[in-house]
Structure 1
């Protein structure tokens, strides 16, 4: 047993992979993601008695995401020390400032579109949202997702098919326009 609090241990076992995946997705570094996951569960342990337990999953995901984004922001602002070897200062060839700027804008537009798709999907059908998030975003095996959702694998396939069909029908034009830039 991890702690004396059995409920906390169950939450940890149920969501440790979700938190690690979120931390890695937003930080891009597995070692940092492990630290972020540890800090996230430490915060949960500290504030566990004072929080609403019905939204623990979303709290964990949001906290891990925010820790990772804060880490990246801080890492981008750090000043390199003189002790770093000169090899680390090898410059990469950059196509042009304009193309780099346009790539950044395109990535931002793509991220905003994905956010709108997930928000619309959640509003349209929460089961579709849950299935798509677990299978494609968190990359949990479909059999485990079906078991977790309390449905047969065939029903999960049907849910995923309908959700993807709706996403394609609703956002196909926007997605195509974004990819043409």
Structure 2
């Protein structure tokens, strides 16, 4: 149990900006990202006793991402069902409807590949996953990432290099084929 909310407050203070950034990156809406952040931490509070406490950071990241993706999916369906479109949905384009659908499917395939890459990377080497996520996805300056990870900057560079090489070796062909279409 979270003792008198002290543990929860510490976790919240440590990860609230990460959760907010993930929620905003996936939803594209600041207000929605704030709601997702609240929902994510509410779920943490509810399920804290049943969780593996060694992976709270990744749990928060994944939960916020899933809330945001579900929000976008729900909004897309609501727009289509209601027939109401705002300027962000209307596309001024000479592309045919078929081309637009194919591009959307390709974008979904890319998103699924990126998710598989991150999952595989986390399973392969947790330090590589942390280094890639913090440096490239969350765009935290590398000296600060090295400090957060408790390593020298040169070691971080080595981790990033090895992780990128592994990703290219493992997923390079699939990535190239997806982007060739």
**Band the TM-score falls in, shorter-chain normalisation:** 0.7 to 0.9
Residues 51, 25 of structure 1: CA spacing in aligned structure 2 closer, same or farther, 3 A cutoff?
Answer: same
SS of residue in 2 equivalent to 1:25:
helix
CA distance in 2, matches of 1:97, 1:59: 38
1:142 counterpart residue number: 142
1:118 counterpart residue number: 118
CA distance in 2, matches of 1:47, 1:31: 25
2:100 counterpart residue number: 100
CA distance in 1, matches of 2:123, 2:56: 20
Unaligned runs of 5+ in 2: none
Whether 1:133 aligns to 2:110 is no
Whether 1:10 aligns to 2:14 is no
Alignment root-mean-square deviation, CA: 2.9
Residues 87, 63 of structure 1: CA spacing in aligned structure 2 closer, same or farther, 3 A cutoff?
Answer: closer
1:180 counterpart residue number: 180
User: What's the CA shift for 1:4?
Assistant: 4.9
Aligned length: 176
CA distance in 2, matches of 1:91, 1:139: 30
Deviation string, structure 1 residues 15-50 (Cα, Å, up to 9, x no partner): 112211221122111121012112222332344345
Deviation string, structure 1 residues 86-118 (Cα, Å, up to 9, x no partner): 996995434111101110121122122222322
CA distance in 2, matches of 1:92, 1:169: 37
Q: Give TM-score, length-normalised by structure 2.
A: 0.81
CA distance in 1, matches of 2:89, 2:59: 41
Residues 7, 175 of structure 1: CA spacing in aligned structure 2 closer, same or farther, 3 A cutoff?
Answer: same
User: What's the CA shift for 1:170?
Assistant: 3.0
1:33 counterpart residue number: 33
SS of residue in 1 equivalent to 2:151:
coil
CA distance in 2, matches of 1:47, 1:76: 30
2:19 counterpart residue number: 19
Worse-matched range after superposition: 87-96 or 120-129: 87-96
Q: Give TM-score, length-normalised by structure 1.
A: 0.81
